[in-house]
A and B are shown apart, each in its own frame.
Chain A
């Protein structure tokens, strides 16, 4: 805790510096600092902060676009493979960047990084057990044979005992899972097999067949959507990489460290954790790709794009249906894909374009309101 005097000095800068900067300075000041030194440091901080600020009329958007676009031309189109038993491949490079910036709903390779709480993340065996427990396991995987008996109107399912043992399950557990699906059937289980018999009058074969198809895809264990799991060591601890995602259900598990667990699906992050988290997800995911490609792009360019995509409180892609459709100017919208559609809709609504932005002014050849074109006259001319 700093002395009150120093606190006072720092809070005196409330109006010129943002809270985050003030906090950072406060935390890094030594406790023994004198008042005059603290004032000097604060003044220097203000000077540095002002020097780093973007000037009015700076075309941050175009600069960001060029800063991302130019290195983007050097990006590879390759997907990257994990070497390992359960191989997983990940979209990287330009396809992934497009996926994020377009805010696509279905990803080519949905993934999660599941971090666990302290006692669970220290050894490989526990993490492996956890991994298999979250993997979505369907009934089908335990089955050796489905035998439809037309005369008896029965369905006999032969199970693989080894796999059952691996998952620490018995025939009874499986029956519990499929009971709901098998209404109208009596179920008997014997060692290594389950027998379904149609109750009452002999129905059609079709019903038996439907039953079989229904049972096959019943989830026996794990979390829906988690198709593959891969326990890996990350630094000192072990984490689980998953292919397929279901952030909501994963975060409900008591072992999972909800503060660090990530999904690469921006929309899912938005739904589960909110728009601020989605903004961070965009920044992190894009930055991950850029780093992997060995490119050097300032995060602030990506932050600008992420801000633009999330500024409405939901996630919008840089597409003609997303942020472009939100532009105020008719001409600006028309200049980006499907011009006639935009012009006609604008005509139907009687829209007025106030020519306040860049593209419109380039089109009609007027000075763009940026840089030297921004300042106007204070004096009103008569």
Chain B
């Protein structure tokens, strides 16, 4: 006896639940029952649950009967010859889709060797344990799971050939890697997903060694000559856009070169790159402050009285110019209109990005690193056969992170490059390390992948053999060019008169609470004061009332006390503007915050 539910709704009972469930499964496999219904027998609760609703995650499994997989060699041959398709196998009852509930009743074998009499299903491939991006990591079963996750996340940030129509697109922050290559060490998912059509990295010659410590703490050393030949070079595209907004009263923005009498006119030089239509000409070299799109806006707050007022009728300048630190070449200009029918202009900027110190690189194994130095080819250690690495990776990154897959890929890449073939690194089904080593030996190299190296600067042979090979390296989108920021002076906030925060506002780097404490701990009292001088002000204080006074320039700059007028002494007191602001706020609470002045000396 068991209750039967369809889509969690009670419909009745059955006397023989096991037979009932088996009947449904048999019918479904025969094709007389809908394929997308799953059935789950909850033995403990004595319930049979059928599910036919949408939104269930289901996965395909090969059916196993009497300890034998129903998928036979004949099926595989037919598949190969395109006589049947995947869905024919589903219809024939060789493969079926299970949802999370029905999976509870299934015993799924890992692969054909592990099938026993009790098994009901077998995995289509053991690699189906991982998703698409994780499957793109070669030898993923030779690394800790959390590194695999990092490795697959890194791949999403890699520069590559993201869309073949990139030259017609207006993507925000798009990057194109020059000379992108298909990986030598690949997995089956690379084939299935057509990875070779949109690759996102390059096969580099990698040596695992140290070089004067420039690759310590996850640094990488790049071969400057390789970089000059185009290694990991990319182009950065970003659009600049402007539209003609409509205002009340039929007024409208105008995209054009602003007239000289426009309010807020910059200088003639700033508009020099614009053509007659107010747009920059293609291939114009733009740098910080240059106007990309010239635009003027109608005057603000125009009341009826102002109509005859000449000064108020002047249009405002509202051009789009490059912000602090931005630069590029005008690549592509589009004039179109937006959803509301306003004229919309977009200019795409292009900038070549050559790898430099601080740019981020990673292998596919969560082994990211930042360029520490670019070394000319002649100074880089070279192998006996004359191979000079493109990238030098630190050995200290391996021991703690245990990414053995990184080392195997290096070996596999070497075999692939020397043997002129792709190496299979599919999860759980990869070529064995042993066979790769054997193949390397037959190619005339040491089977452990190491080679004798010489220091490029001294020519001396290195004391140890260096592990060297080819690896698929990715350039990540975090480039110093987008992030570098420094300031000595610059904009301040209106309220507090302290420096602004953030790169976009050309802000300062805050010396925070804990940093302040370190200066105090060192007793560097005057240095601390100097650091916090950013919002220094000199305030005239009335000595009698302790309030802020002012200088009245209508009376020859006489000092005036707010309480005693001219009958008081005023002293100029230096303090932080933030404190002055706090005094104002305290006074707004109704508290008479009185400054009592004293001679410091």
Contacts and interface: CB of A to CB of B under 8 A. Distances in A.
Asked if A pairs with B, the answer is yes
Interface of A: 57-59, 62-63, 65-66, 340, 343-344, 347, 352, 358, 362-374, 376-377, 380-381
B589 A62 contact: no
A365 B523 contact: no
Nearest to B535: A365
A362 B532 contact: yes
A372 B579 contact: no
A365 B538 CA distance: 12
B484 interface: no
Given A344-B589, A344-B591, A380-B601, A373 B517 contact: no
Nearest to B516: A362
Given A344-B589, A362-B516, A367 B526 contact: yes
Contacts of A364: 575-576, 579
B601 A368 contact: no
B518 interface: yes
A371 B520 CA distance: 8
B521 A362 contact: no
Interface in B497-554: 516-518, 520-526, 528-529, 532-533, 535-536
A372 B596 contact: no
Contact of B579 (A59, A347, A363): A363
Given A363-B579, A373-B526, A374-B525, A368 B589 contact: no
Contacts of B578: 363
B33 interface: no
Contact of A377 (B532, B579, B601): B601
Residue among A347, A365, A369 having the largest count of chain B Cβ atoms under 10 Å: A365
B239 to A, nearest CB: 44
Contact of A372 (B517, B523, B575, B601): B523
30 contacts: A58-B523, A59-B523, A63-B521, A340-B589, A343-B586, A343-B591, A344-B589, A344-B591, A347-B592, A347-B593, A362-B528, A363-B576, A363-B578, A364-B575, A364-B576, A364-B579, A365-B529, A365-B532, A365-B536, A365-B575, A365-B579, A368-B525, A370-B525, A371-B520, A372-B523, A372-B525, A373-B529, A374-B525, A377-B601, A381-B601
Interface residues of B, number: 30
Interface in B549-597: 574-576, 578-579, 582, 586, 589, 591-593, 596
A377 B532 CA distance: 24
B579 A373 contact: no
A347 B517 CA distance: 29
Contact of B521 (A59, A363, A366): A59
A370 B532 CA distance: 16
A371 B591 contact: no
Contacts of A344: 589, 591
Contacts of B582: 363
Given A363-B578, A365-B535, 8 more contacts: A62-B517, A340-B589, A347-B593, A365-B575, A367-B528, A371-B522, A372-B524, A372-B525
Residue among B518, B525, B533, B599 having the largest count of chain A Cβ atoms under 10 Å: B525
B360 to A, nearest CB: 27
A358 B520 contact: yes
B517 A367 contact: no
A367 B518 CA distance: 15
Interface in B204-239: none
A376 B516 CA distance: 23
Given A59-B520, A365-B576, A347 B591 contact: yes
A363 B516 CA distance: 11
Contacts of B524: 371-372
Contacts of A66: 517-518, 521
Nearest to A367: B525
Contacts of A62: 517, 520-521
Contact of B528 (A347, A368, A380): A368
Nearest to A352: B596
Contacts of A343: 586, 589, 591
B579 A368 contact: no
A155 B559 CA distance: 92
Contacts of A380: 601
A380 B601 CA distance: 6
Contacts of A347: 591-593
A57 B521 CA distance: 10
A-B interface, 10 closest residue pairs, ranked by CB to CB distance from nearest: A371-B523, A373-B525, A365-B576, A347-B591, A381-B601, A62-B521, A364-B579, A367-B525, A372-B525, A364-B575
Contacts of A370: 520, 523, 525
Residue among B574, B579, B589 having the largest count of chain A Cβ atoms under 10 Å: B579
A381 B601 CA distance: 6
Contacts of A377: 601
A352 B579 CA distance: 16
Nearest to A58: B523
B354 to A, nearest CB: 40
Contacts of A63: 521
A63 B520 CA distance: 9
B496 to A, nearest CB: 13
Contacts of A371: 520, 522-525
B600 to A, nearest CB: 8
A9 B586 CA distance: 62
A49 to B, nearest CB: 22
A300 B520 CA distance: 19
A347 B592 CA distance: 7
Nearest to A64: B521
Nearest to B517: A62
B592 A372 contact: no
Contact of B520 (A352, A363, A368): A368
